[in-house]
């Protein structure tokens, strides 16, 4: 899901002060906006619009199998928020709606659909439970857990995997461009999924070798990425020994976990790491200001579903200190993630 610009955030804050009634009703009834986005993404409206200069909402409705007036009303809401452009009933693409196309190189269609999946959306029906207890509402709506939900529902799992790939297509090049991996001999990517980050780092640094560490089923699925420079190691970072490396990367894994489990993961890495080894924690940081920010909203998703949290730079520094690492610096990237660099003490 696209993040809001700084100008939009300032405008939103100013509007709330200028018209508090409007601020409350827009937020209280604001469930309409994401549901319209989910519906448009599910139906493939952006694909149906294609590269043509414009189509009418009725033409699009016929293409995607929607009720003409209902789709017009959905698109009217979306276009007033920057997704599609409308003049009367004529619809054009906006920069944001192009990202909903399945064939866009940085497509976010599956990411938008993922947030609307029943397993994700229904947890918010029990959101009050999370606020009262600090326990994820997903424990009530998904007794087997979010990851088991994706395993047992193949279509949902496919959408989730596509969402992660789409996000990685933006984030991974930004990480590789922002950090110099060439000075290391071996990179160990912990919880690295199908190896998108590790493959990109090795491609950009031809003298470096890598180890991809993840759960056995994930490593099995990632088998095709193995090479003479990229080894695969299956295991559970809560139970099994991690590989020895010069630098460890862990990208958008820690935010899935509460503090104590996060410390346990960091300690497992520290146990495998030699003194002076580098750890790169790649996450979206919560900024130390009062302005609206996507990371603050994502933090509520983490609270509600897996029970993790987004954190500030200071909070990561404390977790790392408790685990035997010292935070050295934070590297911003051109995407929404930052690289938190730490050294094994």
Residues that are catalytic: 255
CB within 8 Å of 318: residues ≥ 6 apart: none
Tokens of 59: 């033409």
340 SS3 class: strand
Opening angle at CA 32, ends 64 and 154, nearest 5: 55
Give the three-class secondary structure for 275.
Answer: coil
Q: What 3-state DSSP class applies to 268? A: helix
- Apex CA 165: angle with CA 159 and CA 171, to 5°? 135
**Nearest one of 255, 193, 263, 197 to 222, comparing CA atoms:** 193
Residue among 335, 339, 338 at smallest CA distance from 108: 335
CA atoms of 295 and 93, how far apart (whole Å): 27
With vertex at residue 76, the alpha carbon angle to CA 70 and CA 79, rounded to the nearest 5 degrees, is: 140
Cβ–Cβ < 8 Å for 242, 270: no
Is residue 167 within 8 A of residue 121, CB to CB? The reply is no
Q: Decide if 4 contacts 294 (C-beta within 8 A).
A: yes
CB 192 within 8 A of CB 213: yes
């Amino acid at each position: 899901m696209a993040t809001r610009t700084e100008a939009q955030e300032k405008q939103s804050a100013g509007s709330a002060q200028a018209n508090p009634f409007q601020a409350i009703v827009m937020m209280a009834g604001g469930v309409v906006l994401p549901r319209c986005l989910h519906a448009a993404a599910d139906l493939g409206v952006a694909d149906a619009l294609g590269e043509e200069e414009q189509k009418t909402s009725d033409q699009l409705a016929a293409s995607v199998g929607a009720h003409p007036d209902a789709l017009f009303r959905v698109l009217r809401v979306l276009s007033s928020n920057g997704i599609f452009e409308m003049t009367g009933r004529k619809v054009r693409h906006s920069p944001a709606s192009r990202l909903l196309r399945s064939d866009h190189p940085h497509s976010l269609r599956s990411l938008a659909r993922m947030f609307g999946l029943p397993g994700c959306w229904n947890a918010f029906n029990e959101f009050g439970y999370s606020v009262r207890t600090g326990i994820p509402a997903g424990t009530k709506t998904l007794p087997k857990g979010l990851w088991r939900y994706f395993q047992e529902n193949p279509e949902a799992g496919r959408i989730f995997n596509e969402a992660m790939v789409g996000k990685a297509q933006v984030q991974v090049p930004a990480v590789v461009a922002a950090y110099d991996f060439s000075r290391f001999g071996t990179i160990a990517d912990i919880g690295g999924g199908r190896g998108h980050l590790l493959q990109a780092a090795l491609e950009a640094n031809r003298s470096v070798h890598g180890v991809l560490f993840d759960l056995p089923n994930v490593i099995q699925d990632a088998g095709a990425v193995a090479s003479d420079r990229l080894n695969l190691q299956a295991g559970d970072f809560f139970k099994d020994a991690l590989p020895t490396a010069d630098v460890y990367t862990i990208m958008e894994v820690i935010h899935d976990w509460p503090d104590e489990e996060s410390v346990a993961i960091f300690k497992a890495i520290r146990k495998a790491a030699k003194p002076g080894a580098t750890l790169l924690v790649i996450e979206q940081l919560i900024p130390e200001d009062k302005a609206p920010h996507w990371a603050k909203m994502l933090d509520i998703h983490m609270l509600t579903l897996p029970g993790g949290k987004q954190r500030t730079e200071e909070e990561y520094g404390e977790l790392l200190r408790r685990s035997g690492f010292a935070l050295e610096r934070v590297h911003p990237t051109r995407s929404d993630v930052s690289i938190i660099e730490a050294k094994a003490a």
